[in-house]
Amino acid sequence: MKKITFVYDPETEQEKLDELLGRLDPKPENHLSLAELNLSEYSSDDWLACSLSDSQLKELFEKLKNSDINIGLLPHPEMEQGKKGFGINTNFEKAWEEIQQAEKTPEIDLMQVNEQVTFNSLVVGTSLSILYSNSASNFFEGVKIRFTQLLKLFRRVKLKPYTIKYKNSSDEEQTIETAAMGILAVAHCESNLIFRRVIQESGLDDGRIHLLILAPKSLFALIQFGLQNLFFPIKGGTLPRFVGYISTSEAVISSSETIQFALDGKEGEEQELTINLVEEKIKLLPGASIIEVEEKDGPAEINARSLPTGRLKEELLHSYLPWVRHATSDEFKDLFSLLRKNAQTSSTYLVLMALSTMIATFGLFGDSAPVVIGAMILAPLMGPIISLAMGALRQDSLLIKNSLITIFWGIIIGLFFSILISLITPLKVLNDQIIARIRPNLLDLGIAVASGIAGAYAYSKEEINKTLAGVAISVALVPPLAVAGIGIGWMDWGVFGGAMLLLGTNLAGIVMAASLTFLLLGFSPFRLAKRGLLISLGILIVIALPLGLSFNKMVEENIIIQDLSGQEIPHGLLREVKVIQMQPLKLSVTILSEEALTEQDFKEIRAEIEEKIGRDIALELTLGVRLGDIEK
């Protein structure tokens, strides 16, 4: 049986002491106050079960240096940081039970900051406290705290300059100069809520301290990270690129400004903070939750080299954190070079436009959706359209001119081959695939907007396959282009006009959406983008007006079809209701009857349908006769 001495706060009153002793089962071998404790009387076989305040615990740790006495901790009203840092069970009896059941005591690392022993954490920067969750006594209080912290994420945040010097895994000195919202440092990842959620592996005695550097480039990214941490935490989830992690034996944090920090909750100001481990380890039993999950050999660094430096760092320090991130000079340079190249008319572009339009036209004549969609894989329209969007956003006249010329020649080539195919093809039937492209409405505008967002986002991210977004844009443009050519070939200006309206709608919607996406991704300041966006928006509004009327017409048609389809009238069952035209209203209806109908019956059926929908109609009626069951 363990030889355990209960060490209590000297200020504990006798009544309270008797209560605590009564809760210890089995009883400890001895009990005494911290003032009466003489460490020389204890050896490596002895245990001290301590219920002390944070300040008294630090006093005890100073005396324990170079000692191999086993220490267990019991909750105390003023042991807030020690309880958090070592994961001590808040239940007095259960904490005592963990000490009783412990087979061995690990030697744990203690962190110190400017030679001050730290139990829990160092928080650098006042803004970081927004994401530093406090403990709650119950579920509802926890939800309230989280919502309060979430609201604070929307306030203005200003990054601070920090220089972090540390030793890497090869014991080489490294330096990072960055702009950060704050820095969080702990000795054990599992003792801290944020570290516990994002870092999977860390040892109790791994000889390292652990730092998280939070350097968001926009409020949007910060809010997204805050939402995940506060409400949807995932153990070991992937760190966003603006959060850097470093594990090291020693780190020095300095700044050109005064560093505001909180050491175990106690606020202070310094010009430089030296963080390292206390040389003498202490045999201390952490809470069971920490012992169960702590592992060694965690990562040395994550995203440390992705933190803002150089010009981006200076831009972030210049003003408050923007709502959307600004693209770095390198990101903009690479993207702009690619867009300038894609805005040029090339032989490859023209050949692919011809082939994709030919395949799409054959698919339209064959009423084959798979063929029409398959043709889009070849279509190269994404490049010049996204270039046009960027040109409009940044008011780059050369990029706009080259993009428009390339798009123009692509449309001419597409029209030429679709007209040619329509002239040599004897089919002149408005099938479903063609009809779908000559009656544009607001739904088609929605498709164009989504395609534009997909295209711009794909171009701004190296890791995204450009072909996928290119197919979305081509689906919105090449089929109506092919239908417009068919309309010219048939000399049917209704087909041509409807298809060209859809083409213009999609083109304007894609350019507008792509420009807005680039703006939100930080590729242009709003003052520069304002004129181009207003022009694009004006064109879009002009085009959207007839689309709104068409959409209302489609809604009216659907209401009529729903009101009549499957309805039973005195003369039979109405089936296959179609609206041929709205002004005047002309319907095509099949009626299933059990007997042949006369001309008078047909007149009565029209009157019955007019009564149901409350409008005069012209009617094309198809009669279907229902036969009774055949008797065997």
- Determine the average pLDDT of the residues in 408-437: 89
Query: Distance (Å, rounded) from C-alpha 32 to C-alpha 18?
Result: 12
> Average pLDDT of 347-376?
88
Confidence of residue 555 (pLDDT cuts 50, 70, 90): confident
Give the SS3 label for residue 629: coil
Using pLDDT thresholds of 50, 70 and 90, give the confidence band for residue 630.
very low
State the SS3 of 135-180: CCCCHHHHHHHHHHHHHHCCCCCCCEEEEEEEECCCCCEEEEEEEE
- 589 pLDDT band, cuts 50/70/90, is confident
Topology of domain 3-105, CATH: Rossmann fold (3.40.50)
Q: What's this model's pTM, rounded to 2 decimal places?
A: 0.64
Residue 419 has pLDDT above 70, yes or no: yes
Class in CATH terms, 116-318: mainly beta
Q: What is the mean pLDDT of residues 186-210?
A: 72
Q: Which parts of 466-615 are beta strand (E)?
A: 568-569, 572-581, 586-593
Calculate mean pLDDT across residues 374-386: 82
Place of tokens 């089962």: 25
Q: Is residue 611 classed exposed, middle or buried when 0-12, 13-18 and 19+ CB atoms within 10 A define those classes?
A: exposed
Higher pLDDT: 581 or 1? It is 581
| Average pLDDT over every residue of 482-500 | 91
Report whether 348 contacts 191 (CB < 8 A). no
- Distance (Å, whole) CA 106 – CA 71: 10
Task: Check residues 348 and 169 and name the one with the higher pLDDT.
Answer: 348
Please state, for a pLDDT cut of 90, what percent of the chain lies above it: 30
Domain segments of the chain as ranges: 3-105, 116-318, 329-554, 565-625
User: What is the pLDDT averaged over residues 202-222?
Assistant: 80
Intrachain domains 3-105 and 329-554 with the same fold: no
110-153 per-position pLDDT tens digit:
899 999 999 988 989 876 655 554 455 555 665 565 566 556 65
Percent of the chain with pLDDT over 70: 85
Nearest 10 degrees: Cα torsion 303, 309, 311, 317: 100
The domain 329-554 having CATH identifier 3.90.320: the answer here is no
| Mean confidence (pLDDT) of the chain | 82
One-letter identity of residue 173: E
Q: Find the range with the poorest average confidence among 98-107, 259-268, 347-356, 434-443.
A: 434-443
Query: Looking at per-residue confidence, does 312 or 511 come out higher?
Result: 511
**According to the model, what pLDDT value does residue 222 have?**
74
Residue of 378, 397, 408 lying closest to 340 (CA atoms)? 397
**pLDDT attached to residue 228:** 64
What pLDDT, on the 0 to 100 scale, is given for residue 250? 93
d(C-alpha 166, C-alpha 375), whole Å: 56
pLDDT at 48: 95
The pLDDT, as a whole number, for residue 404 is: 94
Dist CA 16 CA 92 (whole Å): 13
Q: What is the pLDDT of residue 256?
A: 92
The predicted pLDDT at position 632 comes to: 36
Q: Can you give the length of the chain in residues?
A: 632
Q: What mean pLDDT comes out for the span 47-53?
A: 95
pLDDT for the residue numbered 524: 76
pLDDT at 452 over 90: no
Instruction: Identify whether 322 is preceded by a cis peptide bond (ω within 30 of 0).
Output: no
User: Residue 623: pLDDT band by 50, 70, 90 thresholds?
Assistant: confident
The pair phi, psi for residue 596, each rounded to 5°, is -65, 150
pLDDT band at 32 (very low <50, low <70, confident <90, very high): very high
Q: For 41-50, 232-241, 331-340, which range has the lowest pLDDT when averaged over its residues?
A: 232-241
